[in-house]
Amino acid sequence: DIVVTQFPDSPAVSLGERATINCKSSQSVLYSSNNKDYLAWYQQKPGQPPKLLIYWASTRESGVPDRFSGSGSGTDFTLTISSLQAEDVAVYYCQQYYDTPYTFGQGTKLEIK
């Protein structure tokens, strides 16, 4: 199974500051035939299902604010929120959809400092 590890666990960031969450997979999720990384980022708020933010490691889902961006390839990935807003307080998960079982990271709870 591909293990997906996120860090830090619970960063505290000031409003308006940059927030960065990292994700590392135990094996590459880059599919050589199409040169795409099968890595997504989701945001989850209490009592709600996860919401897709980023896919193919760096493609922003329609309607997601452009302060959210994704980067990385192979095994190392980053979600960046360029200027943290109060509504961004949530748990963030990375997920690999490269191979079964499709696995999520342990989650990163983003809090306001």
Q: Contact residues for other proteins (CB under 8 A)?
A: 38, 40, 42, 48-52, 55-56, 61, 93, 95, 97, 100-107
Report the nearest approach of other proteins to the CB of residue 15 (Å). Answer: 26
Q: How remote is the C-alpha of 34 from its chain's centroid?
A: 21
If phi > 0 it is left, if psi is from -120 to 50 it is alpha, else beta; for residue 88 that is: alpha
Q: What is the DSSP letter of 60?
A: E
Measured from the CB atom, the residue of 6 and 75 that comes closer to other proteins is 6
Report the nearest approach of other proteins to the CB of residue 52 (Å). Answer: 5
Measured from the CB atom, the residue of 19 and 42 that comes closer to other proteins is 42
Rg of the Cα trace of the chain? 13
